Structure 1
Amino acid sequence: MRERRETVTVADGRFDMDVWVPEAGRGPGLLLIQEIFGVGSYIRKVAEDLAGRGYVVGAPDLFWRLQRNWEAEHDQEGLAGSLQLVGRFDFQTGVDDAEAALGVLSGLPEVAGGAGLLGFCLGGSLAYTLAARTRPAAVVSFYGSSVHDTLHLIDRIEAPVQFHYGGKDPYIPRDKVAEVERAAAGRDHLEVHVQEDAGHAFHNFEAPMFHHPEAAEASWRLAMDFLARHLPVR
């Protein structure tokens, strides 16, 4: 695969988006939306995994207004710094930036067959909100902490969306996850999967404090099957 850096231009500035192109040289696009630790080692390894599966992956630097190219360590100190940073993050402006990044990604010459969204934590919330505004081919939202508070948006979403949660997430109580399950019930384009024994950020294999290997493997298999159905690599 090849990696390069693109620039996304918005009304008040420019920010970076790292792009990974699969060996085939083209494929469907996936906007990989960061967690609070930034576009660091974890997001980069996920991007490499997805590009290895045939996707053209773009990971935008959405903290650029606060701290360009933020990459926190996946430990308590890094968590504290990231929480402080996200406390100053303007969510709606982040959605605007993500939409601009999706436009750049979709317009790359290597992207063929549509473009989708995949986000973790903060990125899971941004992906869900952006899906209510745009028409991506598919959306995968991992433990988006604001989804249950913005369920009024769900009626606007036409794209297939797959939600992932941990049943023991201290940041997203199980009863709040149940609200998402009820909102998605009866809608064929929406799926909710709960790894009941896992907590928050269970897929993050760079963060021992969060990682739950069994839940990570199960959820990633579901996510890849979902993308194969709705955003297939041809």
Structure 2
Amino acid sequence: MSASEATTTVHRPDGEMPAHVWLPPGGTGPGLLLLQEIFGVSAYIRDRAQDLADLGYVVLAPELYWRTGTMVDESRPDFLEQGMALQAQLDWDETVADAVAALDTLRARPEVDGGVGVVGFCFGGGVAFNVAAVADVDALVSYYGSSLPQLLPLADRVSAPSLHHFGTADAYIPMEKVEEIRAAVDGPEVEFHLYDGAGHAFDNPNPMFVHEAARADAWRITTEFLARRLPV
């Protein structure tokens, strides 16, 4: 756990959802809701949260698997199957409601000074898109949102400035679906970037996922987008 990471909770009607919060070096800043991959709030997600906090943001990452009472064991060879099984147990609408509650909790924190955005990876990229469709956010960053093909009817409800990242070699979201997503979300406030040869989860540093060039390019684009759309 990094020096600036702390634990907190998000109140829900059926209990308290655990969450993690990172404060920027200055102690205050705009807020970013960070939504996990299917593996949970992993070491990778924590590292990205710290990266965002180092840029000047107050970051909140809720444990969206909190009702299952279990997390992915990344040391096991079947960790991908574990993550997919856990995701399958979730009720989508309930998960989105949890994320919106986390957004409200973040916005109410005294350290948040300025707007509030949402960033999601894979499973979290789809949840982030849905959150932006039903709640007021100032910016959306979605990395290869795995549920986006099913969420496109919500596209006209997302008015926040948005950034989408997809790899051209994504085995879970083929290019024809990526192009459908691009067409559905297209607008003056939307940036859409493709990364040649990158597969799904290319930002995850695990060797089975990472595409180093795409990871570096997408992160640079993300930080530049946030600096413009949610300046610290």
Normalising by the smaller structure, the TM-score range is over 0.9
- How far is the alpha carbon of 1:72 from its aligned partner? 3.2
Residue 199 and residue 74 in structure 1: after superposition, are their counterparts in 2 closer, same or farther (change >3 A)? farther
Identify unmatched segments of 5+ residues in structure 1. Answer: none
For 1:31, give the aligned amino acid: L
Q: Could you say which residue in structure 1 is the equivalent of 2:74? A: 73
Instruction: Give the aligned residue type for 1:214.
Output: A
By how many angstroms is 1:75 displaced? 6.3
TM-score of the aligned structures, taking structure 1 as reference length = 0.95
Where has structure 1 moved over 2 Å in runs of 4 or more?
none
Q: Deviations over 1:81-132 (max 9, x none)?
A: 1111111111111100000001111111100111100000010000000100
Partner of 1:209: 208
Check if 1:225 corresponds to 2:227: no
Query: 1:157, CA displacement in angstroms?
Result: 1.1
2:59 to 34, 57, 60: 57
1:74 Cα offset (Å): 6.7
CA distance in 2 between partners of 1:75 and 1:62 (Å) = 21
Partner SS for 1:228: helix
Q: Secondary structure at the match of 1:158?
A: coil
Which residue pairs with 2:34 in the alignment?
Answer: 32
CA distance in 1, matches of 2:76, 2:197: 21
- Say which is worse superposed, 223-232 or 72-81, in terms of deviation: 72-81
Q: Percent identity?
A: 47
Amino acid at match of 1:227: L
Give the secondary structure class of the aligned counterpart of 1:100. helix
Q: Indicate yes or no: 2:6 matched with 1:18.
A: no
TM-score (norm 2): 0.96
The CA deviation at 1:67 is 2.4
Contact 1:72 1:79 in 2 (8 A): no
Kept after mapping to 2: 8 A contact 1:75/1:209: no
Greater mean deviation of Cα atoms: 80-89 or 172-181: 80-89
Other structure's SS at 1:148 match: helix
1:9-44 deviation line (CA, Å, top 9, x unaligned): 111111111000011010010000000111110011
CA distance in 2, matches of 1:197, 1:216: 12
Distance 1:43 1:16 in 2: 15
Segment of structure 1 superposing worse, 32-41 or 188-197: 188-197
* Match in the other structure for 2:125: 124
Q: Conserved in 1, the CA contact under 8 Å of 2:33 and 2:59?
A: yes
1:71 Cα offset (Å): 4.3
CA contact (8 A) 2:168 2:196 kept: yes
1:23-172 equivalent positions in 2, closer than 5 A: 23-68=25-70, 70-73=71-74, 76-172=77-173
CA distance in 2, matches of 1:212, 1:151: 27
| C-alpha distance in structure 2 between counterparts of 1:74 and 1:129, whole Å | 31
Count of aligned residue pairs for this structure pair: 230
Tell me, yes or no, if the aligned pair for 1:20 and 1:58 is still in contact at 8 Å: yes
Contact 1:32-1:57 at 8 Å conserved across structures: yes
Deviation of 1:196 after TM superposition, in Å, equals 2.2
Query: 1:128 is matched by which residue type in structure 2?
Result: F
3-state SS of paired residue (2:153): helix
Distance 2:14 2:69 in 1: 15
- Aligned-pair distance for 1:140? 0.2
**Partners of 2:150 and 2:75 in 1: CA distance:** 27
CA contact (8 A) 1:162 1:191 kept: yes
Distance 2:77 2:142 in 1: 24
Shift of 1:156: 0.8
- 5+ residue gaps, structure 2: none
